[in-house]
Amino acid sequence: MCICVNCRHVQDCMTYYMIQKQHDLIYNNKKVTDNFFVPKETLINININYTNLHTYFDWDLVECLSFTEKPGYWIV
């Protein structure tokens, strides 16, 4: 599971934006040129799943030195 959902920076994080883009889940209208927070030393885990004839990738941020806990901050 992506640790971003409980991070204070999730609304403006460049890495989380990239993960959303990989999942085709861009919910906000923020553009890449807007002021994004760039986290330090992130570790992304990519799980590869096979279903029938399709391959799915699940992107999860599992480590980030900029992580600051604020549970539920992603719900806006």
Task: Report if residue 44 sits inside a domain.
Answer: yes
- Helix H segments across the chain? 14-22
Task: Report if residue 15 sits inside a domain.
Answer: yes
18-57 per-position pLDDT tens digit:
888 887 766 555 555 567 889 999 999 999 999 888 898 8
For the chain, the domain total comes to 1
Task: Report if residue 71 sits inside a domain.
Answer: no
Task: Report if residue 69 sits inside a domain.
Answer: no
Q: What angle do CA 47, 75, 37 make, to 5 degrees?
A: 70
16-28 per-position pLDDT tens digit:
888 888 877 665 5
| Structural domain boundaries, residue 26 | 3-64
Task: Report if residue 70 sits inside a domain.
Answer: no
